Structure 1
Amino acid sequence: MREEAPRAVTIICRALQEQIDRGLLPSGSKLPAERRLSELFDTTRITLREALGQLEAQGLVYREERRGWFVSPTRVAYNPLVRTHFHAMVAEQGRVPATEVLSARLMPASAQICQVLELPALSSVYQVCRARRIDGRLVLYVEHYLNPAYFPGILDFDLTRSLTDLYASEYGIHYGRVRFDMVPTALHAEAAASLKVAPGSPALRITRVNRDQHGRIIDCDLEFWRHDAIHVSVEVPE
């Protein structure tokens, strides 16, 4: 049995990957239930889940809580050197973006956020938490932290729209220099719940610290992307 299980996992992975590669299981389609797949491959649910877990780690399939397994859509390209925002980036690649506001409030800044935004101790910040979709699929949980001195009354606006556009149209503020930090991570409970996946699922965390056209640090974003949703692509000019 110890030798049979790894072989069965390999067979299942190859079979499903071939079906995906040939378009028989199209992007975004739902896989049959685990019981049906177990019967099809004449294996146990444990072995099947190990195979699906390997395919998930490769970004070929994904699981949503209480919904089942799906074929992963094509990743969107993410170029940090291009000045754009989520809705424009996604739409330019022929996909459909959507944003949902989960919460928006004035709150005490944590020590980390005070340090990042260069605020004094016991400062307040605007926190805006949003979930974002591509073609209806939840792919990104993001926490925005804004220095309230630069954005009075911003919570009264429609925060499903691009903050980049809102800053420019309502406050005359445009992004200047931006610092990016990217690290693989595991989703914390709130991010996982917002993306409808299990806590600890793999993700790419992108931290952006944004300055305006005057060089002032105005906000920072903590982005948590599903690991199979994007690929980072950068071409550095000569």
Structure 2
Amino acid sequence: MDNVSTVEVAKEKLDRWLQNGTIIAGAKLPSERELEELLGVKRMTLRQALLNLESESKIFRKDRKGWFVALPRFIYNPKSSASFKLAALEQGREPSWDFIEKSLVSSYPAVVESLLEEGDSGELYRITGWGALDNHKVFYHETFINPRIAQGFIDKLGHDSFSHLWEEEYKKKIVTQRLAFRPIRMSGDVCKIIGGSVGTPAILVEKYRADSNKNIIQIDIEYWRFESVDFFINL
């Protein structure tokens, strides 16, 4: 097997191609076989060089499609009340999004059980969807809401933001009360939605949203592609 220095040489050459624009942001890299020939290295050496660049958020994988050059990172304040659409447009990006499923469920992660109160049926609204920047899907989300607090929420949601519906229909202004972050590897289910291979690095964000009385009324679980986002919070 090639030694580490050979891996570093391959990585540095690839990195130069990225920095000088030989391969532009969002573009697909040549196939691994082509890269082996261009760099004059063996498959294992190339794979390690690619994984090193992936860990530095310079490239990313799409399942069955190959390697791509990372797009500019989205600057994301998860505590902000601004919508994903507005934040993206302010950064000169082209946002798109869609909902996948809106349903009433009785099976859900333990972290969302705090939405329930004594006497509730045990069912929650579950809304799943994805968000994309410049036609590249960067996150998948699952949102949970107690139907007792917001009856008919999934029927009224349409294509509006959650915040807009809370304010217009239920007269509630919601704020992010608590956040939790942790690095994970994407599961097969998430990969099917936003691309990537099983085990692709991702960041899990749990957002607990509250009304003006500090009651948690919505919990979002978001899975962000590792290379796509930088988080910040103003204190």
TM-score with structure 2 setting the length: 0.92
2:124 maps to which residue? 125
Asked whether 1:226 is paired with 2:233, we answer no
Which residue identity lines up with residue 162 of structure 1 in the other structure? S
Query: What's the offset of the Cα at 1:8?
Result: 2.2
1:193 and 2:192 are equivalent in the alignment: yes
Q: Which residue of 2 aligns with 1:212?
A: 211
Q: CA deviation at 1:117?
A: 1.6
Q: CA deviation at 1:111?
A: 6.5
Q: Distance in 1 between matches of 2:99 and 2:233?
A: 29
1:10 aligns to what?
8
Higher mean Cα deviation, 157-166 or 217-226? 157-166
1:156 paired residue number: 155
Name the residue aligned to 1:66. Answer: 64
What is the match of residue 181 of structure 2?
Answer: 182
Task: Tell me the equivalent position of 1:101.
Answer: 99
RMSD: 1.8
CA distance in 1, matches of 2:45, 2:158: 45
Describe the superposition over 1:12-64 as per-residue Cα deviations: whole angstroms up to 9, x where unpaired: 11111112122222111111111111111112222211111110111000110
Measure the CA separation in 2 of the matches of 1:132 and 1:109. Answer: 24
| Contact 2:10–2:41, Cα closer than 8 Å, also in 1 | no
Shift of 1:218: 0.8
Alpha-carbon distance in 1 for matches of 2:48, 2:109: 41
Please, which moves more after superposition, 117-126 or 215-224? 117-126
The offset of 1:187, in angstroms, is 1.5
- Taking structure 1 as reference, are residues 122 and 190 closer, same or farther at Cα in structure 2, changes over 3 Å only? farther
- 1:45 paired with 2:43, answer yes
Q: Distance in 2 between matches of 1:234 and 1:147?
A: 27
Paired residues in the alignment total: 234
Give the secondary structure class of the aligned counterpart of 2:24. Answer: coil
Change in 2 beyond 3 A, CA 1:70/1:220: same
Moved more, 174-183 or 80-89: 80-89
Whole-Å separation in 2 of the counterparts to 1:136 and 1:111:
30
The runs of 5 or more residues in structure 1 that have no matched partner are: none
The percent identity for this pair of structures is 27
5+ residue gaps, structure 2, are none
